[in-house]
Amino acid sequence: MKRIGVLTSGGDAPGMNAAIRAVVRTAVYNKVEVYGIKRGFSGLLEEDIEPLNVYSVADIIHRGGTILRSSRSEYFKTDAGQKKAIQVLEEFNIDSLIVIGGDGSFKGARALSNKGVNTISLPGTIDNDIGCTDYSIGFDTALNTALDAIGKIRDTTSSHNRVNVVEVMGRDCGEIALFAGLAGGAESILVPERDYDLDAISDKLLRGKDRGKLHSIIVLAEGVGNFEDFCKKIEEKTGVSTRGTNLGYIQRGGSPTAFDRILASRMGYMAVNLLLDGKTNRVIGIRDNKYLDMDTNEALEIKKEFDMEAYRIADVLSI
Ligand code: F6P
């Protein structure tokens, strides 16, 4: 192997820095040079690249965001963009690339792999929407951020005898909503993977109110719709004072949890070792508590399975 490049791409996620640190330190330990590519594939095309060493990644394991920064590049998706990327990698003598991001980033890595670059991809997204892994880097932190906010919202919701609709991130995937809702004791959880029944949700709220319940929390994934519209619907149907909160980008930031730091450290370490073993076009994941790697084509074919059991449990427990 000549030289490793590392980049973060797509929406950032807490723990990406811990992954970069693990990649750099494992490479240095093995006497392999490593270069940081800034702003994802856009930075690659613009030659925004610099060498990294043990000191470049000091004091970052606990930091949110990504020191390499991130972007989404439309031009990179074209054949011309990918040819240009290959040219730049050759200029910098980089023959191996570690990509940290979501499935869009995996597709980018696969395209470069098909053009001869050794690539390893790590799942990094708060959405946890990647089928080949039970957990992606950043999900646990985002989940805990959402849970902390739900706890605070619950306090004021009880004081005022209200309903509060909490919108969390997740355009196509309800993982944050499902697990923040389950852990936060939400009365209803709305996810893009399942249709919802407004009458049933309203009846449940009114039943709870009749029993003397002081508050109701509804967790809504952004892919289902806007929280303000949903608040209006609930208030109209039930007559109960309803407020809403969009947690927004606070879910993407913050210091990573221990879980995310460990996941990122192990995956970053594994990525370099796979390259040292001559592997390419692989995605790393964790399934049933075991770390694994698989072919990128295979990984991209796997659809995230919706955890119906967790969804049912949350429903039963919020009777
Ligand atoms: O990181 C994933 C995600 O947060 C989605 O849940 C959300 O829809 C999207 O990214 C928004 O990202 P941006 O505004 O940066 O495009």
Nearest to 187, CA basis, from 203, 168, 170, 171? 203
Q: What is the pLDDT of residues 6-30, one digit of tens each?
A: 999 999 999 999 999 999 999 999 9
Question: What is the C-alpha to C-alpha distance for residues 312 and 118, in angstroms, rounded to an integer?
Answer: 43
C-alpha 238, offset from chain centre: 35
The reply to whether 127 belongs to the active site is yes
Whether the complex's predicted ipTM surpasses the cut of 0.90: yes
- What is the domain-level CATH number for residue 134? 3.40.50.450
Nearest residue (by CA) to ligand 1, atom 13, is 11
Count of structural domains within the chain: 2
Catalytic residue among 12, 95, 127, 155: 127
Q: Which atom of ligand 1 is nearest to the CA of 170?
A: 6
pLDDT > 70 in the chain, percent:
100
Q: What is the pLDDT of residues 198-247, one digit of tens each?
A: 999 999 999 999 999 888 999 999 999 999 999 999 999 999 999 999 99
Whether 157 and 60 share a structural domain: no
Q: What is the pLDDT of residues 126-156, one digit of tens each?
A: 999 999 999 999 999 999 999 999 999 999 9
261 is in an annotated binding site: no
Nearest residue (by CA) to ligand 1, atom 5, is 170
For the chain, the C-alpha Rg in angstroms (whole number) is: 22
Would 310 be classed as within a structural domain? Answer: no
171 is in an annotated binding site: yes
Whether 132 and 262 share a structural domain: yes
**In the predicted model, what is the mean pLDDT of residues 291-313?**
98
pLDDT at residue 111 above 90? yes
Question: What is the C-alpha to C-alpha distance for residues 276 and 135, in angstroms, rounded to an integer?
Answer: 25
Q: What is the pLDDT of residues 49-96, one digit of tens each?
A: 999 999 999 999 999 999 999 999 999 999 999 999 999 999 999 999
Whether 109 and 224 share a structural domain: no
Domain that holds residue 239: 140-252
